[in-house]
Amino acid sequence: MELSRYLARYSLNLQYEDLPEEVVSFTKLCILDYFGSAIAGSDKKPVQIISNLVKDMGGFEQAKLFTGGKSSVLNAALVNGSASHMMELDDIHKGSIIHAATVVIPAALAIAEWRQLSGKELITAVVVGYEVCFRIGEAVSPSHYYYWHNTATCGTFGAAAATGKLLGLTEDQAVDALGNAGSQAAGLWEFIVDGAMTKQLHTAKASMNGTMAALLAQKSFTGPKKILEGNRGFFNAMSEEHDVSRIIENLGQEFKILENSFKVHASCRHTHHAIDLLIDIFKEHQPVLEEIESVEVNSYQVALTITDDADPQTEYAAKFSLQFCSALALLNGRASLEDFGEEELWDKDIRALMEKVNVHVDPAIDESYPRKWGATVTVLLKNGEKIYKQTDFPKGDPENAVTTKELLEKFIGMATIIPLQQRQALAESLMNLESIENISDLMKTL
Amino acid sequence: MELSRYLARYSLNLQYEDLPEEVVSFTKLCILDYFGSAIAGSDKKPVQIISNLVKDMGGFEQAKLFTGGKSSVLNAALVNGSASHMMELDDIHKGSIIHAATVVIPAALAIAEWRQLSGKELITAVVVGYEVCFRIGEAVSPSHYYYWHNTATCGTFGAAAATGKLLGLTEDQAVDALGNAGSQAAGLWEFIVDGAMTKQLHTAKASMNGTMAALLAQKSFTGPKKILEGNRGFFNAMSEEHDVSRIIENLGQEFKILENSFKVHASCRHTHHAIDLLIDIFKEHQPVLEEIESVEVNSYQVALTITDDADPQTEYAAKFSLQFCSALALLNGRASLEDFGEEELWDKDIRALMEKVNVHVDPAIDESYPRKWGATVTVLLKNGEKIYKQTDFPKGDPENAVTTKELLEKFIGMATIIPLQQRQALAESLMNLESIENISDLMKTL
């Protein structure tokens, strides 16, 4: 049987009633976390530009834009898919290296709002979308990630699966939708050199493209049946190696959404291990610049490929600089949203400490990646003292989990564009999502 | 200097007054040929589905849809980009293996109509769009084409360049537009196994995505500067080999649009060499099925990769079956639009002859590909007679050109959805495109 058909059949068979309570609760946290990121990102420039483009183009008022107003479901997926990836605080799955929320949830939300579906249907669709894109991402990890932004490429399949579920596709249609999702999959890492706005376009387009594939399939638009394993399909074209077993193994018997990690620092996930460890050292020692001889950070190769940047020139680039993030964490003891401003970017002490930060690949840590996203840090003080810390799992990984309370606090801290009372009410609605009969009612409160 | 910047600077510098008369005339034929294909394809199912999706989504009435009515420029690029690739009669550039019209022209047309630009501006933009995508396609040919549908992937850059020119982008913006075109480039060949509708989605999305990249750039949305040559850019990610010199060599000193080929048979271009030769044999010998012992077709590897199909199951798949096309040409002496219906698909004589058709790779022909798209055919008759024919250039290549008169006849034969008088008037307008002050006036006549 074609791999897409396994995924399609799984997606269509899964019912809300099949979800363990733990999965429902966790999925609601993913959705809450999505809303926080999307609201916080909604007034930022790349998101505003995409939103302005949508407003220039027009569209029926089918679904809410986080930037204000309504537009077509495709336009909503586009705008809202960009908004939630702006702050670099959206969720991440380490096995597949995918930020699923920012692609899957805006797509599912737009369809659920348009078709006036329930909270339970939305939750089930999100579980499906995460499962599908995580499995595809795992199948092509780690090699795919060198050139390709998994969140965008694999995420497209997740958006198609989630929206296909909500649209009630037949199995053949769901196979077609996955086929045309894969044939639209795109998103190269080249933009990272320039810190370009492309990253938000990737997630925006992945969400839109996956939704388009499902909407077309519903109208009997056909697609390739073996988009994953076919000779000229996704695996062969876009990955040096792939592991088919990741698609099928335990499908329907586990819920990969539970492996999802939440971000507590406002930077690239590949910097979080070091930030965690250096914040701990800050708390324990509060070293000042003059006391520090050097900081050695060891991690896996991909962390360096993406974040080895000794001289970031923009606030955004700073979030992708392991040197900047390390210096910031050790000197200021934090790396939250408000810590990546112009002031910090050009802070003389941070810049001076960055020159003492050395980043390396540790073969043993690299070997465990992406199962573990680990790091070690060694801070050598001028007095000869050596402070060493090690982690396998940055905070927010399931193995080093944040609490519901912490995620609620994160949401309240992020969604500051809307008044506190409304924010609290929204959080409460989202924590009771399964009781909402009509998602369009929820979206009216936004 | 970044490669994108060479292309951006060339695009923005080129003026209508710089175009030799020959280029203007030839470009008008490309646009005429586009209209014929788009009109003929507009009522076909894949195009109708995409059009219905657009109508479900809505959008401001900015540009005409070939399926009727108006929608936003992005929606028009989407629908019209699918329409013109439906009949497999749209133009093709052999060096880059790109059907440029179906991606570049709908994008340029939508912007020109929306912004009420002139025929001269449209012609110049089309020249630019062809030049940019042909050069990128040549740089990654032939290896890119194994997995990727060049028309879609490289075409996205062409659409961005043409629309960027019409929108009056700055040089930096044009570089950004090319960057975000490349980061959206997609389109895998896997669909060909199923004869799926994906092929039209590819051209639709390429046209839309390129236009989106240019519209975003105009609003200062940034993109990767080295999307082509960067470490994690288009060349390295999506092609085994690439030749940078193809981007720069003679840029601005030649007009690659003049290398464009027009299709006279309604099938995949990789079948045309054999069709030409077998129609010649039909004319000279008119052999009947019972007289034929075997038909040997030799060509380049890619022709077989795409069109070696001994048992096509749909009318569409028949257009991608070298065996079917060969049998059709030898028995019926033609391979026009009306020759790929259900009747021919299941015709007993054609099916019987297909069993006698053998297709092979000839190393010498393969060596010359894609400079030459050659073939030999040998028809062995039961009486022992051997008929041998050879070609380097299928009809419609610049080296084996069709006349303006033939292209006008092709247009009149294709655009049959509209009344003859209107069709003739449209052809006349298109042949005098440089005198049209406002493209929106032209589109009103459609």
A81 touches chain B (CB under 8 A): no
| Token pair in block for residue A314 | 């923009």
Q: State the Cα–Cα distance between residues B210 and A401, nearest whole angstrom.
A: 42
- Residue B262 has, within 13 A of its CA and on its CB side, a CA count of 27
Is the pLDDT assigned to residue B25 strictly greater than 90?
yes
> How close B184 comes to chain A (CA, Å)?
5
CB B353 within 8 A of CB B289: yes
The length of chain B, given as a count of residues: 446
| Average pLDDT estimate for A132-142 | 97
| CATH top-level class of A3-264+404-444 | mainly alpha
Q: Which residue of A has its CA nearest to B306?
A: A232
CB B81 within 8 A of CB B42: no
A248 touches chain B (CB under 8 A): no
Tell me the domain boundaries of chain A. 3-264+404-444, 269-391
Nearest to B186 among A185, A191, A226 (CB): A185
Inter-chain residue contact A147 with B197, CB threshold 8 Å:
no
**Bridge partners (DSSP) listed for residue A70:** A64
State the average pLDDT for chain B: 97
B57 touches chain A (CB under 8 A): yes
Q: State the Cα–Cα distance between residues B29 and B46, nearest whole angstrom.
A: 26
Collect all residues of chain B within an 8 Å Cβ-Cβ radius of residue A198: 179-180, 183, 222-224
Nearest to B190 among A56, A197, A227 (CB): A227
Q: How many other CB atoms are found less than 10 A from the CB of residue A276?
A: 23
| Average pLDDT estimate for A292-301 | 97
Q: Give tens-digit pLDDT for A345-395.
A: 999 999 999 999 999 999 999 999 989 999 999 999 999 999 999 999 999
Q: State the Cα–Cα distance between residues A122 and B270, nearest whole angstrom.
A: 47
Is the pLDDT assigned to residue A337 strictly greater than 90?
no
Q: State the Cα–Cα distance between residues B254 and B246, nearest whole angstrom.
A: 12
User: Which amino acid belongs to residue B185?
Assistant: A
CB B256 within 8 A of CB B139: no
Residue A337 is classified by DSSP as G
* pLDDT of the residue at A316: 86
| Average pLDDT estimate for B392-402 | 95
- CA separation, residue B246 to residues B8, B97, B136 (Å): 15, 14, 7
| Average pLDDT estimate for B433-437 | 98
User: To which residue do tokens 């030459």 refer?
Assistant: B372
Q: State the Cα–Cα distance between residues A90 and A81, nearest whole angstrom.
A: 11
User: To which residue do tokens 């060694």 refer?
Assistant: A378
Nearest to B224 among A46, A52, A194 (CB): A194
Is the pLDDT assigned to residue B242 strictly greater than 90?
yes
Query: For chain B, how far is it from start to end, CA to CA, in angstroms?
Result: 43
**Bridge partners (DSSP) listed for residue B60:** none
Is the pLDDT assigned to residue B97 strictly greater than 90?
yes
Letter string b/e over residues A310-349, b meaning 16 or more CB atoms within 10 A of that residue's CB: eebeeebbbbbbbbbbbbbbbbbeebebebbeeebbebee
> How close A178 comes to chain B (CA, Å)?
12
B244 touches chain A (CB under 8 A): no
Nearest to B190 among A205, A219, A226 (CB): A226
> How close B316 comes to chain A (CA, Å)?
13
Q: Which residue of A has its CA nearest to B184?
A: A186
| Average pLDDT estimate for A151-167 | 98
CB B99 within 8 A of CB B53: no
Q: Give tens-digit pLDDT for A30-68.
A: 999 999 999 999 999 999 999 999 999 999 999 999 999
Residue pairs between chains A and B whose CB atoms are closer than 8 Å:
197
User: Which amino acid belongs to residue B308?
Assistant: D
> How close B439 comes to chain A (CA, Å)?
19
State the average pLDDT for chain A: 97
Alpha carbon B83 to chain centroid distance?
12
**What is the bridge-based pairing of β-strands B70-71 and B375-381?**
unpaired
Inter-chain residue contact A221 with B49, CB threshold 8 Å:
yes
**What is the bridge-based pairing of β-strands A292-299 and A357-361?**
parallel
A217 touches chain B (CB under 8 A): no
Mutate to test the interface with B, among A45, A67, A200, A222 (most CBs of B within 10 A): A222
> How close A261 comes to chain B (CA, Å)?
26
Furthest C-alpha separation in chain A:
72
* pLDDT of the residue at A295: 98
Is the pLDDT assigned to residue B265 strictly greater than 90?
yes
* pLDDT of the residue at B338: 87
Write phi, then psi, for B355 (nearest 5 degrees). Answer: -70, -15
| Token pair in block for residue B155 | 């075409």
CB B131 within 8 A of CB B10: yes
| CATH top-level class of B269-391 | alpha beta
> How close A49 comes to chain B (CA, Å)?
6
The ipTM estimated for the assembled molecules is 0.93
Inter-chain residue contact B198 with A190, CB threshold 8 Å:
no
* pLDDT of the residue at A435: 98
* pLDDT of the residue at B396: 96
Q: Give tens-digit pLDDT for A208-261.
A: 999 999 999 999 999 999 999 999 999 999 999 999 999 999 999 999 999 999
* pLDDT of the residue at A373: 95
**Bridge partners (DSSP) listed for residue A389:** A377
Q: Give tens-digit pLDDT for A58-116.
A: 999 999 999 999 999 999 999 999 999 999 899 999 999 999 999 999 999 999 999 99
Inter-chain residue contact B226 with A190, CB threshold 8 Å:
yes
Inter-chain residue contact A224 with B57, CB threshold 8 Å:
no
| Token pair in block for residue B149 | 């549908």
Inter-chain residue contact A222 with B198, CB threshold 8 Å:
yes
Inter-chain residue contact A216 with B179, CB threshold 8 Å:
no
* pLDDT of the residue at A404: 96
Q: State the Cα–Cα distance between residues A379 and A281, nearest whole angstrom.
A: 9
Percent of chain B with pLDDT over 70: 100
- Residue B272 has, within 13 A of its CA and on its CB side, a CA count of 26
Inter-chain residue contact B194 with A232, CB threshold 8 Å:
no
Is the pLDDT assigned to residue A280 strictly greater than 90?
yes
Inter-chain residue contact A223 with B194, CB threshold 8 Å:
yes
Quick one: pLDDT band at residue A338, thresholds 50, 70, 90? confident
Torsion of CA B50, A152, A82, A323, to 10 degrees: -160
A211 touches chain B (CB under 8 A): no
Q: Which residue of B has its CA nearest to A58?
A: B59
Is the pLDDT assigned to residue B337 strictly greater than 90?
no
Q: Which residue of B has its CA nearest to A234?
A: B188
Q: State the Cα–Cα distance between residues B80 and B102, nearest whole angstrom.
A: 8
Percent of chain A with pLDDT over 90: 97
Inter-chain residue contact B220 with A49, CB threshold 8 Å:
yes
Please report the residues numbered 343 through 402 in chain B whose beta carbons come closer than 8 angstroms to any beta carbon of chain A: none
A222 touches chain B (CB under 8 A): yes
Is the pLDDT assigned to residue B215 strictly greater than 90?
yes
Q: A90 burial class (0-12, 13-18, 19+ CB within 10 angstroms)?
A: buried
Collect all residues of chain B within an 8 Å Cβ-Cβ radius of residue A65: none
A137 touches chain B (CB under 8 A): no
B182 touches chain A (CB under 8 A): yes
Contacts of residue B134, Cβ cutoff 8 Å, sequence gap at least 6: B93, B95, B96, B98, B100, B158, B256, B257, B259
| Average pLDDT estimate for B194-216 | 97
> How close A22 comes to chain B (CA, Å)?
37
Inter-chain residue contact A191 with B223, CB threshold 8 Å:
yes
Return the minimum-mean-pLDDT range out of A146-150, A151-155, B126-130, B315-319: B315-319
CB A370 within 8 A of CB A95: yes
Q: Give tens-digit pLDDT for B414-423.
A: 999 999 999 9
| Average pLDDT estimate for B153-166 | 98
Collect all residues of chain B within an 8 Å Cβ-Cβ radius of residue A186: 183-186
A232 touches chain B (CB under 8 A): yes
**What is the bridge-based pairing of β-strands A292-299 and A63-64?**
unpaired
Q: State the Cα–Cα distance between residues B190 and B152, nearest whole angstrom.
A: 13
Please report the residues numbered 59 through 78 in chain B whose beta carbons come closer than 8 angstroms to any beta carbon of chain A: 59-60, 62, 72-75
Q: Quick one: angle between helices A198-218 and B45-57, nearest 10?
A: 120
Inter-chain residue contact A180 with B187, CB threshold 8 Å:
no
A236 touches chain B (CB under 8 A): yes
